[in-house]
Structure 1
Amino acid sequence: MTPRSVNILLLMCLMSVSGVHCGPSVNYPFKRVCGLKGASVDLPCTYDYPWGHIYIRGEWYRERSGRVSSYNNPKYPDCSLKLNTLSDEDSDVYHFRFYTSLHPNWTASKPEIRLSVTDVQLQVDPTTATEGERVTLTCSTACALTENPTFTWFKNRQRIRNQQSSRDTKLHLSPVSSEDAGSYSCAVGGHENLPSSAMALSVRYAPRNTSASVSPSGNMTEGSSVNFTCSSDANPPVSNYTWYKSSGNETILRGTGPHLKLTLASGDGGVYHCQALNEMGSQNSTGVEVILVKGAESPISLPRLVCSLLLTSQYLLLTVMLVVKYYRAQGDGNDDKRENVVVEA
């Protein structure tokens, strides 16, 4: 700088010309900074002082809680501050100040930097939908983290397939189906490890995949017990199960509930089906047939068999004893006749 330039600069300082800094100064390129909760952020700052000054000390201050940290070894002219693992308490007004050998008073700049800490917010509209409707998910932050932030979407903690990070803050599910039900979250690009709180999407639909079963199956006889079971997939869950029996052109109500137990009587043969019902609709199962056969006798139980054998054996024993007694009686009669013949002779 030539002597003439120095004189001009001194003259401008004396005249307080706007834009000319003749002493120590602090500058913030951004007056407002947005930080993501849990992440780190830099508060950009530069400082300057005239030739001949010697930097003595500097420090960052918070408007609410006082000094943040000392800044004794700055990398001139950078005085930026890095904050890690941000929390809501870090939202505040910050400023850097310093003094030099020739300017012993604190030098700061106004306005200071205002830091706002935000988390990622997710909205689901509506949170409960009927199949075929449109559902919109919106990802947002309370302040702008970057000029053009991107967003990533997750379902049940897994990144949604075929869904690339984009600048679109909305995700549309149209038409929504039962497969879309689940827990959703979103994250700002570059901070996928800091997603929003999860929100559940419930999708309502009428009963489907309704089925009926019977145990035991096959030909049955009167007096036998059978158990019927009805199952169905529905949201909200099935509120009512109803059982019907069809025989020819006649359909008869047989009971309610997911389980039905019957002791078969004459006329209980036929095709049985169940109906599942919720507030969205109903569905009938396919039929299961119960074939009732006649004339089949129940097998003899072991106690009855033993009893029959005992009675038979007692009958045979009694018969043998009677036969033996009879023949003995016949034998005694013949002996008496022979004795009479001998005496007469």
Structure 2
Amino acid sequence: MEALTGSCLQIPCNFRLKQGEKLNSKTTPFGVWIKNSPYFGKNGSVVIFNSSGTVSTYPMSFTGDLSQKNCTTLFSSLNTTYTDTYYFRVENRPFLATAECDGLQITVKDSPPKPRIEISGDVKEKESVSISCSASTPCPHSPPQLTWNLQPDSHHMMEENTDRTFTTRIQKSITLSHEHDGFIISCSARYPVNEGKDVKTSEERKTLSVSYAPKNTSVSISPSCWVSAGSRVNLTCSSRAKPPVSRFTWFKTSRDAPIKVSEGDFYSFNVTDGGVYYCVATNQLGDQTSSEVHLTVEDSPPKPRIEISGDVKEKESVSISCSASTPCPHSPPQLTWNLQPDSHHMMEENTDRTFTTRIQKSITLSPEHDGFIITCSARYPVNEGKDVKTSEERKTLSVSYAPKNTSVSISPSGRVSAGSRVNLTCSSRAKPPVSRFTWFKTSRDAPIKVSEGDFYSFNVTDGEVYYCVATNQLGDQISSEIHLTIGGN
């Protein structure tokens, strides 16, 4: 058995008598623990405890009833020097016997054993599994406390094993999804030692490996969906699955039913007319259909694409780009837009070895940019540069900013009489809209908060100075002050 320094060890123990022998009911049976050697009274054997009270070298006590042949023992305040082989002896004269062939090896360690994480059930999506974390409990009077990173409503218990030792367990049933794959279950066991004054901790981790049907199945196309008749198109199907996808199948839609056109994650063909294509990814747990790809055979060029990277709010710098598909890199499109003329132009090779022409500019945003419409045109030279085909894209900037133009209006205006009612209204321009209006009245010491909301109505008692503060998640702004003047009738 293994135990922890500073804790205790409950030793499950019982004994049987040989046929024809029995305990003497007229005398009290005594239990004895010996270490090193089972040969009682001979060289090498050391008596370390006797329930008669004659020897108590080690902190032991019998919790079982010896008269019922139950010799269960509690070994307390353990330290590593107690690591040894121990033998039980019973004395009930005239009956005397030592368990010479059944020595107990006790190992006392400074570090607690790691808990054990177990998963029972079919570990695949949509299946319910039972997950448990268990810890050896050599001292059931002071069991370890188990904690883990699963849901807090887990079921706790302490169980007696078939060998009469104990285990502390925490358990939870969950229904698996593909998001659980790769989740690391972490379980800690905190063992109280030294009569609860200290704690020793051990931890175990286990990674969930969940099988699931294909997910995120998608099709990429090269070059873009705008193609000319006779040109070559490459379609690639990708999917996430565990076990991996075993089969990709390509289909083309038709009036009657989809037509299977190919297998494999890559499908390349010469375009003759427009069509709608999709792929199906399959593994042993199921399949998933991608979204459709619409191939269009036409003479009009594709629209350029406007992208904004960065936090689109005032005072932040963002990078704005306009890009256009470049099926013919020897004769790329010319990009123009209504941003500053010193924009950076480039032509890039993509990972699929196609090309993109790009124009890019970094700007620092202000509230004035909100609502600005970016216009970008792509001019494609055709017929060996004799003609041009143009496409255009527009995108409106939506810039977030703190409150601006915060002001207070008063009704009625001018002088007011004591006891009359005054209405103050706070207005401000902000994006996102103002989330809170707060009203303050000035005083000699510090401003006094008097109300919240964009409207404040009250009966005047004397002349005072008021202002409001408009707030949203990006900041706040204080209005100018309103001076109330008390006049006569």
Category of TM-score, reference length = shorter chain: 0.3 to 0.5
Q: Higher relative CO (CA 8 A, sep ≥ 6), structure 1 or 2?
A: 1
User: Greater helix percent: which structure?
Assistant: 1
Normalised by the size of structure 2, how large is the TM-score? 0.34
User: Greater strand percent: which structure?
Assistant: 2
Normalised by the size of structure 1, how large is the TM-score? 0.46
User: Whose radius of gyration is greater, 1 or 2?
Assistant: 1
